[in-house]
Structure 1
């Protein structure tokens, strides 16, 4: 559906203020631009002019999965971005045929394509979106600015207070304020200062630490799959994961992770050994033949946190939170970017339906934005609460029952294309959790796998030879953030 033409109005101009200039903020700006007179993005850092690291995004050094549900949402908000990414070297990787995954229930088969994932660095993705969004003359960025708080009262947010780079303070009027400020967002505090009720918050913290590194991909590996060795939360050991994602410039982005008691570090001498020590040594064996292109980057900001803005008492009009400001997720599940994109798309749908100034708009929009976030929250925490040493919300009887059902779905997926597609519908965020309790899925779960378990990774002999060759081929461009 095409965007409506820019509204023609008299009187006070309508402005949307977006807190944060990252991926979620740019997508929120794209969602709002056709429904207001102008959009102002307030960003604490200086945004780079190209596909380069951003100061406020240390997690960009780690593997990012843009599932097809999120990629489709981004394309709907920013037409042409998918083609731009592919032209810049990103890969459109088919699912499940382009992925070799050891799940808690065994190796998944590489069934014919039903979904896809985009393989690229976070720097490239952010730049591709940012460059297109900022072409719109209605959108401006105030860089190196700190948001001090909201203005208005319990009935209506009517602007924000800023501290600019020169130390001066400024009030910026707004019809709508979108909090896309990420994990560091102070949205609950800002609302409390206006007199709104408390924002209920839940956390599940498995204590995950990431250690990631860029490698040169072997010559001829352009069509080789993503490789992911997943953790099994039922085992009495830390949950450890090893993943290789092919990205632009003939590179691999490798991320290792582990929960409390089994975390990776930036020790170069131990990196490959850690990769070999997870549930299957495939990733470590491939890295032993590959050439590193960067230092090892480590991050610990991985707690799952859900803020229920949609349930706040006395919530004012004119304020909506999305992205990590609403729901921050353990990156191992790869849902953060897709949740932000789907949230922004839901915001645009509500703007189109009623307009930014309609009574009750903010509450309806917040509920719509929260729906895809709730799906991703359930998928992430349904695993993380079972790892040894996990903190925050603890599993109860319903969690254990649901976990057994999900395990059955995963087991069936290893030998049933129908079930693999149904699970992928939800994992890629192209369907809600209700997809997993339809009659067909229930019947397939009752039948179980239709084929026997695979005994090893489903790689062809040709793929394995290429991946193990260690032949770098032609020199690629330097890795993002690398030497």
Structure 2
């Protein structure tokens, strides 16, 4: 009898062992896909000069994506050229160490005065290049007023991040790339890319980039063409004019671009503060020690608004108020910000120190600047599904995938795209065992597939949680509803449960794969929380 029953008794333990092994394997695969630690470690390692790819990598656009792509290409190509329409960016004002005093304004970057916060561990020893703040990545996220727990309990300082405006971050990168003379083969060419020319001697390859400059038309021979034109996403237009059919191979009747309209507006209020005011602001822990004061999102079931506050470079403070709404009805004055703050529908009210800080800012209202912004449609191009592309054309950053900026995924997707580019270029020496002077015929296809595997995590569940969102063609707002339900309760629980808070922080900071949110133990906690009806 014992001999016939022991397999049944052992079955649960065997299933558990299989589940553990499978879970570890799956997690490792997700780490490789979403975070690319092995690929990241090779970024910044240059090829020997004699093994660099002959020719010029032409970067079409000199914003953040363009400059990061240029930095990667510097390690692989003989020459790198950035073509940028705004000529002043390569001059003294474009590399101004105090970006807030720049005399020129970006005409093509709507978010130039928005907040940016990114990992900056390598910049801590380069203070001469920036007046930005590098502080713990504690964003004080408050879902419906409940503050998510940050893993200070782990006993070591949490990762630090750079708190800066888009203006400050972009200028810092430009200074590091152009002003420090460390990358002599990177050149800046003022002009607007108007198209591309096909190589008549090599079918399936681009030969030149066509440029309209202030002194007329010109062109540049290109070993690699990178579309970094941002939200204008001009690359697909160039390819069609050059005769390329950009229809996805999976469905000849389908469109290359997939988009939805989030209908988000936000206003950014920037204040320039004196050292005395900064010292007296009633921020918990002190103003100088807090990068983000808080980021609060109202109860989405009844309120579509949010509020955040960050410190920026050069002693500035930014308050952002926003809403998922097709109509812009946001504050334009500091008094309106106070009213807006008190009217948010939250389970826990905003603390009174916040209103004390707003009262103190009344004395700084003469320095206040308000920058309204209407978020354009979120869109991505399905280049990874196109069969016939030039072998030496790619797109990175907003040129490939433009995301809702409220969630801060734009720069991470750009960085992951640059990591995919570096990996693809490194692999050229191993695909057939020899170095190459021209990119192989399948380079573009390989790159787009590799890039999409890394960045699809930011798109795969559209932000359809608000009724004002206009979904993609053929979809409804119910798409992804089960996952939104789960993540909503996961985030709420992160304010009470230390383990959930730790997982949420690591996944939000892209320090752990998203699959960690679905560990069986975490899932049970979240479902139990949801069954209880949320927080008490």
Judge same fold: TM > 0.5, yes or no: yes
Change (3 A) 1:414 1:43: same
1:103 aligns with 2:143: yes
Contact 2:246 2:256 in 1 (8 A): no
Matches within 5 A, 1:439-454: 439-446=520-527, 448=529
Aligned match of 1:155 in 198, 201, 204? Answer: 204
Query: Residues of 1 paired with 2:498 and 2:207: CA distance?
Result: 52
1:91, CA displacement in angstroms? 2.3
Aligned residue pairs total 434
1:231 and 2:273 are equivalent in the alignment: no
Contact 2:467/2:477 (<8 A) preserved: no
- Which of 70, 73, 76 pairs up with 1:29? 70
Query: Partner of 2:266 in structure 1?
Result: 210
Deviation at 1:436, TM superposition (A): 2.8
TM-score by length of 1: 0.81
Q: Is the 8 A contact 1:265 1:298 kept in 2?
A: no
Please, which of 170, 173, 179 is the counterpart of residue 218 of structure 2? Answer: 170
CA distance in 2, matches of 1:422, 1:202: 31
TM-score, normalised to structure 2's length? 0.74
1:250 Cα deviation from its structure 2 partner: 2.5
Deviation at 1:281, TM superposition (A): 4.2
Matched, 1:252 2:312: no
- Give, in angstroms, the shift of residue 267 of structure 1: 4.7
**Alignment CA distance shift 1:305-1:284 (3 Å):** farther
Partners of 1:435 and 1:365 in 2: how far apart?
27
In the aligned structure 2, how far is the partner of 1:151 from the partner of 1:302?
30
- Please say if residues 397 and 414 of structure 2, whose CA atoms lie closer than 8 Å, have aligned partners that are also in contact: yes
| 2:408 is the alignment partner of 1:334 | yes
1:84 pairs with 2:84: no
Q: Could you say which residue in structure 2 is the equivalent of 1:373?
A: 455
Q: 1:245 to 1:85 in 2, by over 3 A?
A: farther
Tell me by how many angstroms 1:304 deviates: 1.8
Query: 2:372, 2:291 → 1: CA distance?
Result: 25
Measure how far apart 1:257 and its partner are.
1.0
Which one has the bigger helix percentage?
2
Separation in 2 of the partners of 1:435 and 1:14?
Answer: 44
SS for the counterpart of 2:126 is helix
Task: Name the structure 1 match of 2:167.
Answer: 123
1:111 to partner: Cα distance: 3.5
Within 2, Cα distance between the matches of 1:333 and 1:90? Answer: 21
CA–CA distance in 1 between the matches of 2:164 and 2:442? 39
Corresponding residue number in structure 1 for 2:189: 142
Secondary structure at the aligned position of 1:15 is classed as strand
Aligned partner (choices 343, 352, 362) of residue 277 of structure 1 = 343
For 2:164 and 2:213, locate their aligned partners in 1 and report how far apart those are by CA, in whole Å: 33
CA contact (8 A) 2:465 2:477 kept: no
Distance of 1:256 and 1:205 partners within structure 2? 19
Cα pair 2:265 2:328 within 8 Å, conserved:
no
Q: Which protein has the larger Cα radius of gyration, Structure 1 or Structure 2?
A: 2
Q: Distance in 2 between matches of 1:15 and 1:269?
A: 54
| 8 Å contact from structure 1 (residues 179, 325) kept in 2 | yes
Q: 1:420: how far off?
A: 2.1
1:299-334 Cα deviation digits (max 9, x unpaired): 113432222221123122111111111111222111
* Structure 1: tracts of 5 or more residues without a match: 73-79, 456-483
The answer for the alignment partner of 1:466 in structure 2 is none
Across the aligned residues of Structure 1 and Structure 2, the Cα RMSD in angstroms comes to 2.9
- The whole-number CA distance in structure 2 between the counterparts of 1:342 and 1:349 is 10
Deviations 1:107-138 (A, max 9, x none): 21344154443212222211221122223111
Unaligned runs of 5+ in 2: 1-41, 248-254, 280-285, 430-437
Question: In 2, distance between residues paired with 1:147 and 1:93?
Answer: 39
Distance between the aligned counterparts of 2:342 and 2:471, measured in 1? 30
Say if 1:412 and 1:114 are closer, same or farther in 2 by CA, change over 3 A. Answer: farther
- 1: distance between equivalents of 2:127 and 2:396? 24
